[in-house]
Structures are given as C-alpha cells and as structure tokens.
Structure 1
Amino acid sequence: MALFASVKQLEIIGEAANNVTKQFKKIYSEIEWRKIIGLRNLLVNEYFGINKEIIWGIIKKDIPKLHVEVKKILEQL
C-alpha cells in the first residue's frame, strides 16, 4: 500500500511541475523539471510496469534534494 501512495504523490509532484510556467522553470533551472514531468508521465501511463526499487530510489535520493531546492525557492519568494 505504501508503494501505491508513494507513486500517487510522485504523480502529484509531476503534475504540479507540469503546471509551472516556462519563465519560472528558466529562473529555477537547477530543478530537473523535465525528469520530474517525465516520471509523472511514466507512472500514469505504465502503471503496471513500475519498478518498486526505482521508485524507492527516487524517494530516498531525489525527493530529499528536490525538497531542499523547493525550500530555497520558497524562501526567495
């Protein structure tokens, strides 16, 4: 069940990233917007082919980095 909840949260992050303006993405280019959106698309379209080890790797490695970057952005706004 945790995997499904995690996948849903990654989808939401990807959907949010997809709705960020091009100008905002350009200003904050240190965030890998295309990869985030690409992951969302993969999760939505290839749901039964999801590799749980890859998902856990993203959660353990990439999400903490993204969290730090988003916090920096919020402090600047």
Structure 2
Amino acid sequence: MPVVREQTFTKSEQSVLKTFREFLMSPGQMLCFYGPELERYRNALKGLTERGLLVKERFKGAYSLTREGFAAMRSVHPHLA
C-alpha cells in the first residue's frame, strides 16, 4: 500500500472520502455522485482529483480512487469497517 504523506483535508473532502469508505470502494472502482451531493461536493471532488487522490471518470458525476486516494481514505476514516 502506498505511503500517505501527512495531508489535511477540508470537511467536504473528508465527507467525500467517507462516502467512498461507506461503499467499501477499492482503487479503480467507480462511484457516482449525483443531484444535490454532486453540487455540494463539486469543489471537494475537484480538489481531491487535482491532488491525485481521485480520477474523474467519463460518466457524469463518476469518480474512482487512486491507490493514494485509497490510502488517504483509510487514514482519514480508520474506524469505519
């Protein structure tokens, strides 16, 4: 598993990572955000993508975790199953 540099995340970025964790997403698996959630998390999704933690997929509102994003997700929310 990649080593995660110490990073700070906004509350919105933490919420996005928590959503990936709640759906038990692995690197490369696509998760779709839609409607109000897509609008609410637009900046967080963009920021996480620019940092190389998410990949924006071709399908509208769809993102997947990179290996680094997966490690960050686990470090931000280690208590979730």
TM-score norm. by structure 1 comes to 0.31
- Higher helix fraction (1 or 2): 1
Rg comparison, structure with higher value: 1
- Higher strand fraction (1 or 2): 2
TM-score norm. by structure 2 comes to 0.30
